């Protein structure tokens, strides 16, 4: 059994890791930390876990975690970077669900996340944990930077088009919509149900932190500067991301459906829907699956890709478990064989 530690067990990605790992056949969750809830039983904070977890929260100290084979950071940004070197030195593998190790360029990180990065040297070493594009590096990684939720949905939709060179990367548009759980489990006025319910709005239009992450990854494929307009919106629901992607076609003859089906034919967690489909976030609720559909409206020169994920699973904790499975040579879908909770 792989011994697992979770730092930051009281946010939504933390409790989602607990949900997934409690039923993972190859894993034993040994340590869950929370500074605020230290000493409390985990299942007193999360009654959904009663009967599946009898741990108490402990202090997030390195000595509490060195016994683990792998530690997940489900923490706010700028926390994992303070503990990463210490744990790596003890031979513990790390999967960071925050943004500390996603950007390769420390200057860009500091521009978008503020403050100084605590261990810029680790940025080179960190492996970006999108299995569909980076599997072999993840296998050997000691430190995985788990992708952001929006970047996951957007990259999976754009990647086949960009790799095939069939779209003009000078005017890519990602119009993305997320449920409110993406805002996390800390008290805030804007995520109150009275604010976010029965209403719809965009946010961060001038610039969202996931923009440089997406751009960095798409640039790698293309080897040149991709021009992306990224607009996130808040949907009055709890879970789910729907990214609607637009790109000008430069190869009018390409067979889009088969391009995507071939690209993802060996991927367990990316499901290309039949032509004409409209994926629904409700069909992937609670699962690690991305469902995609590809359209060319009115036979015109714009390709529209629809990409849905559960932001807390494929967009965070499920992808983190997937990365762990790859790092430890387990079946990739171990602990992740779930069916979408519809309706």
Residue 254 or 277 having the CB closest to a second copy: 277
Alpha-carbon span 290 to 144, nearest angstrom: 20
Q: How far is the CB of 152 from a second copy (least distance, A)?
A: 16
Say if residues 19 and 72 touch (Cβ distance below 8 Å).
no
Work out the end-to-end distance of the chain between its first and last CA atoms, rounded to an integer number of angstroms.
35
278 binds a second copy, rule: CB under 8 A:
yes
The stretch near a second copy (CB under 8 A) out of 65-73, 102-110, 114-122, 199-207 is 199-207
Q: CA separation (Å) from 284 to 165, 200, 287, 308, 309?
A: 29, 21, 5, 7, 6
240 binds a second copy, rule: CB under 8 A:
yes
Q: How far is CA 201 from the centre of its chain?
A: 22
- Residues 152 to 171: which contact a second copy by CB under 8 A? 171
76 binds a second copy, rule: CB under 8 A:
no
Give yes or no for a cis peptide into 343 (omega within 30° of 0): yes
The stretch near a second copy (CB under 8 A) out of 68-76, 78-86, 91-99, 292-300 is 292-300
Contact with a second copy (CB under 8 A) among 49, 161, 162, 226:
49
Residue 82 or 237 having the CB closest to a second copy: 237
Say if residues 156 and 322 touch (Cβ distance below 8 Å).
no
Q: How many residues bind a second copy (CB under 8 A)?
A: 91
141 binds a second copy, rule: CB under 8 A:
no
- Find, among 165, 174, 173, the residue nearest to 254 by Cα: 165
CA dihedral sign, ordered 51, 57, 63, 69: positive
The stretch near a second copy (CB under 8 A) out of 107-115, 122-130, 181-189, 249-257 is 181-189
- For residue 207, what is the enclosing H or E element? none
Residue 161 or 180 having the CB closest to a second copy: 180
The stretch near a second copy (CB under 8 A) out of 75-83, 120-128, 146-154, 271-279 is 271-279
- For residue 196, how many other CB atoms are within 10 A of its CB? 21
Q: How far is the CB of 9 from a second copy (least distance, A)?
A: 13
200 binds a second copy, rule: CB under 8 A:
yes
- Find, among 326, 133, 277, the residue nearest to 214 by Cα: 133
Contact with a second copy (CB under 8 A) among 30, 37, 52, 64:
52
Residue 188 or 252 having the CB closest to a second copy: 188
Residue 159 or 306 having the CB closest to a second copy: 306
The residues carrying an active-site annotation are: 149
Length of the chain: 343
- For residue 22, how many other CB atoms are within 10 A of its CB? 14
Residue 323 or 338 having the CB closest to a second copy: 338
């Amino acid at each position: 059994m792989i011994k697992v530690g979770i730092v930051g067990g009281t946010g939504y990605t933390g409790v989602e890791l607990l949900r997934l790992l409690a039923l993972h056949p190859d894993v034993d969750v040994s340590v869950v930390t929370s500074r605020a809830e230290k000493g409390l039983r985990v299942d007193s904070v999360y009654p959904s876990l009663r009967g599946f977890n009898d741990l108490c929260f402990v202090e997030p100290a390195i000595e509490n975690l060195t016994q683990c084979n792998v530690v997940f950071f489900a923490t706010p940004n700028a926390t994992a970077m303070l503990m990463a070197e210490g744990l790596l030195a003890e031979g513990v593998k790390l999967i960071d669900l925050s943004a500390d190790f996603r950007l390769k360029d420390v200057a860009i990180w500091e521009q978008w996340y503020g403050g100084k990065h605590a261990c810029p040297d680790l940025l080179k070493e960190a492996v970006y944990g999108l299995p569909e594009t980076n599997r072999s590096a993840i296998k050997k990684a000691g430190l995985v930077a788990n992708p952001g939720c929006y970047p996951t949905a957007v990259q999976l939709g754009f990647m086949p088009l960009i790799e095939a060179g069939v779209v003009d990367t000078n005017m890519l548009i990602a119009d993305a919509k997320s449920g409110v759980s993406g805002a996390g489990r800390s008290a805030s006025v804007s995520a109150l149900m009275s604010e976010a319910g029965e209403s719809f709005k965009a946010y961060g239009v001038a610039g969202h932190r996931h923009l440089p992450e997406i751009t960095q990854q798409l640039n790698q494929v293309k080897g040149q500067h991709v021009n992306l307009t990224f607009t996130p919106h808040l949907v009055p629901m709890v879970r789910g991301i729907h990214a609607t992607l637009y790109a000008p076609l430069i190869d009018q003859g390409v067979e889009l459906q088969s391009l995507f089906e071939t690209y993802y034919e060996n991927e367990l967690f990316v499901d290309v829907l039949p032509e004409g489909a409209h994926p629904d976030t409700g069909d992937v609720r609670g699962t690690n699956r991305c469902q995609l559909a590809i359209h060319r409206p009115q036979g015109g020169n714009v390709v529209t890709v629809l990409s849905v994920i559960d932001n807390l699973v494929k967009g965070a904790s499920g992808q983190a478990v997937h990365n762990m499975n790859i790092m430890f040579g387990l079946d990739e879908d171990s602990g992740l064989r779930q069916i979408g909770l519809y309706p």
